[in-house]
Amino acid sequence: MTTVERRITRLRTDFDRSFAQPQDSHDVEHVELLAVRAAGRPYALRLAQTAGLHPDRPVTPLPGPLPALLGLAGFVGAVVPVYDLAALLGHPAADRPRWLVMAAGTPLLALAFHDVDGHVRVAAEAIISEASGDGRRGVLRGMVALDGATRPIIDVPAARAVVHQMAGHAPGTEEGAAHDVR
């Protein structure tokens, strides 16, 4: 067996073995966060609650009574509603957000915000939990200190629930029952 063949065999073995080992995202000692800014204010999102980050994605505006609804964006064959995170948090409308994050789960939903400050991995005990979600419109679940400042953590499933509530999809209705709002 040549050196190249041995290396290919080792890479295949390592690749196959990686599926048998627990993923780092299941590490209960650390939490992966995306540090973002919405309307100039610092926040954090749990990466485990997201399904993708996209800059400068075209959003087709929609008329309607929901100021937080920016419009629709296309993602790999799907049309997804895009909501302004700043507006969901009760901040006044600022300039058009640059970044979109896909919320994990269904139905598909994207949240728009202005800036990404970075990806960080923090110790789980560094997060101050807030189980009640009493913060801004019920979407904030905890806080974390990053770079000497405290950032509220946005709970993406709670943001999805707020969007559904704003759109009139009450739990128990046919429309609300068709979608998992957790």
DSSP class of 138 = G
Closest CA to 167 of 68, 86, 78, 93: 68
Helix (H) or strand (E) holding 122: strand 115-123
Q: Could you tell me which CATH class the domain 31-178 is placed in?
A: mainly beta
Q: Which residue has the tokens 């019920």?
A: 138
Q: Write out pLDDT tens, residues 48-70.
A: 999 999 999 999 999 888 889 99
Q: Write out pLDDT tens, residues 2-19.
A: 887 887 777 767 666 655
Helix (H) or strand (E) holding 150: strand 149-154
Q: Write out pLDDT tens, residues 97-131.
A: 999 999 999 889 999 999 999 999 999 999 998 65
